[in-house]
Amino acid sequence: MKDDPDVMVIGSQNGLGKTSIPERCSLLLSTLTTSQKQWQVWIPERRAWPVNWPDLLVRAGAEQIELDGEISVGRLEFSVSYHLTRRGRVQIHGEGLKEARQVFDATGEREGGGEELISAISGISTDPVLTDSFVTR
């Protein structure tokens, strides 16, 4: 159909990790926000919810998530590495990440989507994982 966005369909048996793909993409995209406040949701003393978010996101038997990816924002392409431990420690490293954050936050409209992102991923929100907060136009 003319002027419709691209659509990707992923199908397989239950439990093989289909949902993990957009969740992990959302976590990588969340590294583009510059607000450190969004990461406070991971710190146990500062969580309003009695839910251990990192424990929900880290695979059973693993101690941390290690995500590496490449993201394009306009003509800018960069690599990012995102690590989240079961205790909630976040490490973000990236080549070209500073420039990408400047492009992503150029309008000043994005204060960080950490809590909204985690709510979507954990199922607390009824919105889809990739909401307007995490998708650039």
Q: Is 83 exposed, middle or buried (0-12, 13-18, 19+ CB in 10 A)?
A: middle
Whole-model pTM over 0.85: no
Query: Do 134 and 117 form a contact (C-beta atoms < 8 A)?
Result: yes
Which has the minimum average pLDDT: 12-26, 60-74, 108-122?
108-122
- The whole-chain average pLDDT of the chain stands at 72
Question: Does the pLDDT value for residue 64 go beyond 90?
Answer: yes
The C-alpha atoms of residue 112 and residue 93 are separated, in whole angstroms, by 17
Residue 128 and residue 126: Cα distance in Å, rounded? 7
pLDDT in tens, 46-57: 666 666 777 878
> What is the average per-residue pLDDT within 111-130?
55
The model's confidence at residue 73, banded by pLDDT at 50, 70 and 90, is: confident
Q: Which pLDDT score, from 0 to 100, does residue 107 have? A: 47
Spatial separation of the C-alpha atoms in residues 82 and 118, rounded to whole Å: 15
